[in-house]
Amino acid sequence: MTSAAARAARASALLLPLLLAAAAVGLTVGAGDLSLTAALHGLEPDATVLYKLRLPRVLLAAEVGAALSVAGVALQALLRNPLADPFVFGLSGGAAIGTTVVVIASGTALGSAAFSAASFAGLLPAQVAAVAGAMAAALLVYTLGRARGQLEPTRALLVGVVFNSFASALVLAVEAVLRPEQTQAVLLWLSGTLGYESMPVLASAGLVLIIPIVILIALAGRLNLLALGDEGAQALGVDVSRTRLLAFFAASAAVGIAVAFTGLVGFVGLVVPHAVRLVVGPDHRVVLPASALGGAVFLVLADALARVLFRSLGAEPPVGAITAMIGAPLFVLLLRSRQ
């Protein structure tokens, strides 16, 4: 039996070239034809398309894919439930409320003033609101999901599911009074779309995402022991409630940041961890880093597919629709192959 570190390194050595290949695909395909040679020689418009449109999108897809997958692994371990998905703790609902509030506020004088202030501070209002909404929801679910001072997985799960339903009802109700183009912006966000962020924004998002991902990888050993049940883990010296608390908020932060940029891209955090476990086994010390890379590969490829699927019609479906269309059947296949 080789050490976990060695296996993690081996999985990464396998997945890194895959990620590079996926990135190459993502850079090559798009809404128009691109001459890579022209782009690399700095000829316009190819250079702009490559460096300012495709490259930022590939990077965003990789970051978000990694964040959602790692969060998925952590939440599945935390809840001891393989069906847990990153949005299960009400995070999607919270982020949706945050985004809707921004869309509504953007039409009011007070909102415009707040936007100018936020942009002066270098913040993107919609993103900040989504993260704030997601974190508020996480806090709410954490508070309501506790019993006897401890986070109780089943309770938290139920509170999260109910909160998500409540949030989508709220968003639907509010949509009735929105202007049609505002409704469209909200719907686009809810369906999960990769946009074009600037390089400094992508760099800071990447840096911020490293924190929760590192925390979760550091917790990997303790997440393994949680599988033995709370008492078993406790007996082996794991501070169960502290581990839960840390993992819960680290995963929530990762998801919050991801949805802030792309809206609700489903199935990434569900399918990727399952596929990875199938290959590398259940050890979280391997599953977590491998899922980060695997999630990045998955979303980069899904986005490339979104860009070419309806290319001849000049249209592009939201990437969230693609991940769900691939993810749902893949998930069933993975489930069946486990038996």
Partner 1 sequence: MGTLIVALLLAAGPRQHLGPAVPAHVQRVVTLAPSLSEVVLALGAQDRLVGVTRFDDDPRVAKVARIGGYNDPQPEAVLGVKPDLVLAEPAPSNRGPVEALARLGVPIEAFPLTTVADIEDAIGGIAQLLGVPEKGRELDAQLEAARKQSRDKLQGKKRLRTLLVFGLEPLVVAGPGSFAVELLEDAGGENAAAGADKPFFRWSAEAAVRSAPDLIILCGVDAPPGRPALPGLDKTRTVHLRSTALLHPGPRLAEALGDLAVALHP
Binding site for partner 1 (CB under 8 A): 30-32, 44-45, 48-49, 52-54, 56, 115-116, 118-119, 122, 124-126, 176, 179-181, 184-185, 188, 195-196, 198, 314-316
CA gap 227, 237 in Å, rounded: 14
35 vs 154, which CB is nearer to partner 1? 35
CB of 197 to partner 1, least distance (A): 8
85 vs 197, which CB is nearer to partner 1? 197
What are the angstrom distances between the C-alpha of 233 and each of 146, 219, 222, 239, 337? 19, 13, 8, 8, 29
CA gap 292, 39 in Å, rounded: 30
CA gap 29, 206 in Å, rounded: 24
CB of 227 to partner 1, least distance (A): 43
27 vs 246, which CB is nearer to partner 1? 27
CB of 195 to partner 1, least distance (A): 8
CB of 302 to partner 1, least distance (A): 17
Q: Which residue from 28, 86, 35, 26 is spatially nearest to 60, judged by alpha carbons?
A: 26
31 vs 174, which CB is nearer to partner 1? 31
Tokens 């070239």 locate to: 17
17 vs 314, which CB is nearer to partner 1? 314
- Burial class of residue 72 (count of CB atoms within 10 Å of its CB; 0-12, 13-18, 19+): buried
Cβ atoms of residues 14 and 21 within 8 Å? no
Q: Which residue from 211, 219, 224 is spatially nearest to 243, judged by alpha carbons?
A: 219
CB of 126 to partner 1, least distance (A): 7
